[in-house]
Amino acid sequence: MNPILTIVVGATLLTVVTIAYGGTFLLRVATGGYPFNDLQKAFFRAGHAHAGVLVILGLVCVLAQDAAGVGGGWEWAAVGVLAAAILISAGFFLSVLGRDPQRPGRAIVILWIGVAVLTAALLTVGISVIAAGASALG
C-alpha cells in the first residue's frame, strides 16, 4: 500500500474515537440532556450513523483496492469515500443548527456535495477493482 495512503488509513481509524464520542452526545440528546427539537434529533442521528458507516466503507474500499493491486493513482478514489463521510455528516449536523429550526438550513448543500463525492468515489473504486481483476485474468 502507498505509504501516504497507509497514514490516511491510520488517521481514519483514530477518527473512530470521535465518532464514538459523538455517540455519547447522541445519548444525552436522546435522554433530554439537551433541548433539541425532533428535526435536530433525527438529523444528528443520521449524521452520526452516516459517519460510522461511511468510514467503515471507506476503509473497506482502501483494502479492496489494495488487495486487487489497484495503482496508478486510482487507489486515491477510496479517500473520496472517506471525504464523503465528513461532508455528509457535516451536512446533517450543520443544516439544523440554531434555535428550533423547522427545516434544514442552507448548509444542507454540504450533504448533497458529499453524496456526489460518494457516488463518484464508489464508481471509481468499483471500476478500478473490476479492471484490476480483469487485467489479472489476462
| Rounded-to-10 torsion of CA 111, 115, 117, 122 | 150
Q: What confidence score (pLDDT) does residue 90 get?
A: 97
Q: What confidence score (pLDDT) does residue 110 get?
A: 98
pLDDT digits (tens, 9 = 90+) for 98-133: 989 999 999 999 999 999 999 999 999 999 999 999
**3 state DSSP class of 124:** helix
pLDDT digits (tens, 9 = 90+) for 93-107: 999 999 899 999 999
Contacts 24+ apart (CB under 8 A), 10-18: 12/55, 12/58, 12/59, 12/82, 13/59, 15/55, 16/52, 16/55
Residue 19, classified by CB atoms within 10 Å of its CB into exposed (0-12), middle (13-18) or buried (19+), is middle
Q: What confidence score (pLDDT) does residue 31 get?
A: 87
Average of per-residue pLDDT across 9-35: 90
pTM of the model: 0.91
pLDDT digits (tens, 9 = 90+) for 26-81: 998 888 888 899 999 999 999 999 999 999 999 999 999 999 999 999 999 999 99
CA distance 69 to 9: 17
Please, are residues 47 and 92 in contact by the beta-carbon 8 Å criterion? Answer: yes
Which position has the grid cell 485474468? 137
Closest CA to 83 of 63, 60, 113, 46: 113
The count of C-alpha atoms lying within 13 angstroms of the C-alpha of 135, restricted to the half-sphere facing its C-beta, is: 10
Q: What are the domain boundaries of the chain?
A: 3-137
